[in-house]
Structure 1
């Protein structure tokens, strides 16, 4: 069973002086999945990722990567070579060309010719920088620089990729390009742990998420299970008639817990505790009451709402 886990930690703890940054974490990440790590600044995400990357020594606890114990000493160099780690502040060498930069790191990982040349061409194509291979890094946009950093992180074909805030500061198009690359890497069988504050990106990418608060892993589950357990149903309702009449009818329904008036004319977002049958019954009752409906759309709370709700519970 343990061999099926890409990451397994036991009692993983990191203390700096009197501050416990990571507190007794039992993390399980299955092989081949994209696992999203979310939490506010100071929650311990970066410290956890640094320990998983062997860049930080745990105070106590154990880390296993695909069943092998990860230590910071020289006991398992092959295991460390199979990790790819992209920190949120890794510097680029602006006076090098894209090709020379990647070639430098490929040499550090002891990639030999002709494999090295082929691998550089592969990763440049993957991150869509083939046309920039001879350009100086200083001339690249922020999004291109981040894709180049990712190329450097995967040049040695790691089996586990650790990405700390990789889309921070990127515009929507650059974020979308980065997401598409992550999907290709997952399809190729790579296990990816990614932290981000852009929860909409994680909701699209991840199969599981972990939520950190004050050094604790307060939630770790598949995205599907998290939605099922914590996401309330919501219904967007728009009327051609009087909004007050719609509100009056909603007050009479036992599954309606409240609503929010939306910016578009005569529209509400209704918090709804019922299931499909109850929402169908609500629709029938509104029509029977003579409410002229323009829209009746069932949805669920998104990952951001779930995170804020969980965070509030931890604080309160």
Structure 2
């Protein structure tokens, strides 16, 4: 397999009795990427992540991490030691304090002093819990507990990190703090695969995304390419004059597909199939016709809209 890939799977399949949870998935993730895994409940995301992190045995198929075959036997122990896996339901030992909890896991990974103490200080600073090092875990907020779980997952400096719904149930501030930590880890060279239902977070974090449906990987591409191929450009056009005059002029432009009236703003939300040059031409032509344009704002459909469109296509 290609050694420049952090993850490569070959017809990866997991079957439970008659139920196929993951169906012949061909996944490729490049080194240094943040890869977002999207899909409804039951799509197979968690099962796929569990197989990639050696927590679940595939029924058939192969997994290669950094060019080495991953097996759930005693082979490649060095490879398994460089994986970090944060499931969505990993329990915390509530009666321990933060430092003792992290030290326990550091010892499980055979981190020796004085490196162990240095590493604990580093991860506490990264997840912004240095001031909580002596606090009991049961006194922490949900966001702090999730950041502590991440600290435990990266204590041994993994090169490949698997995160399954890490921001589930977190408030917007806690999600923002978690996002910033992920960005730091990527900058440090870590490859990260993350599943989440919070698509706005993935849109800010990910370089590539994979969309799963009924156990199959129906899309896997860079986020940039996905937007270029599937995201409609929309233009908000606000006029100080009559909306009917604006509509009449828009009918003459070949790149204008349809529009929606925003009555409270005297505006139209226009679906536009052209690029930047065509949108500039449209603005010039509207002004040339003497229309009093107050706002001309280009946007694109977001990741959530694209996902819903793709899901509709799969059902249709």
TM-score w.r.t. length of structure 1: 0.96
CA shift in 2, pair 1:76/1:295, >3 Å: same
Tell me the distance in 2 between the aligned counterparts of 1:243 and 1:93.
Answer: 62
Which has the larger displacement, 153-162 or 202-211? 202-211
The answer to whether residue 212 in structure 2 is matched with residue 212 in structure 1 is yes
Alignment partner of 1:192 is 2:192: yes
Partner residue, 2:303: 303
1:79 aligns with 79
Paired residue secondary structure (1:3): coil
Deviates more, 1:273-282 or 1:156-165: 273-282
What is the alpha-carbon distance in structure 2 between the residues aligned to residue 92 and residue 269 of structure 1?
48
Taking the aligned partners of 2:166 and 2:158, their CA distance within structure 1 comes to 17
Per the alignment, in what secondary structure is the counterpart of residue 151 of structure 2? helix
Corresponding residue of 2:56: 56
Q: State the Cα deviation string for residues 205-239 of structure 1 (Å, max 9, x = none).
A: 11111111111101111111111222221111112
1:165 lines up with 2:165 in the alignment: yes
1-structure distance, mates of 2:217, 2:229: 17
Moved more, 40-49 or 267-276: 267-276
Q: Point out where structure 2 has 5 or more consecutive residues left out of the alignment.
A: none
Other structure's SS at 1:238 match: strand
| Cα distance in structure 1, aligned partners of 2:155 and 2:101 | 11
Secondary structure of the 1:100 match is: helix
Q: How far 1:264 sits from its partner (Å)?
A: 5.1
Alignment deviations for residues 57-107 of structure 1 (CA, whole Å, 9 cap, x no partner): 100000011111111111222211110000011111111111111111111
For 1:146-185, what aligned pairs fall within 5 Å after superposition? 146-185=146-185
Report the secondary structure of 1:291's partner residue.
Answer: coil
| Shift of residue 263, structure 1, vs aligned partner | 7.1
Aligned to 2:130: 130
1:2 aligned counterpart, secondary structure:
coil
TM-score (norm 2): 0.96
CA–CA distance in 2 between the matches of 1:174 and 1:240?
Answer: 42
Query: Number of paired residues?
Result: 316
CA-atom RMSD in angstroms: 1.3
CA distance in 1, matches of 2:32, 2:263: 41
Which residue of 2 is the match for residue 20 of structure 1? Answer: 20
Matches within 5 A, 1:1-316: 2-262=2-262, 265-316=265-316
Q: Which moved more, 1:67-76 or 1:126-135?
A: 67-76
Tell me, in whole angstroms, the C-alpha distance in 1 between the residues paired with 2:55 and 2:287: 62
Paired with 1:215 and 1:152, the residues of 2 have a C-alpha distance of 30
Distance 1:271 1:190, change over 3 A: same
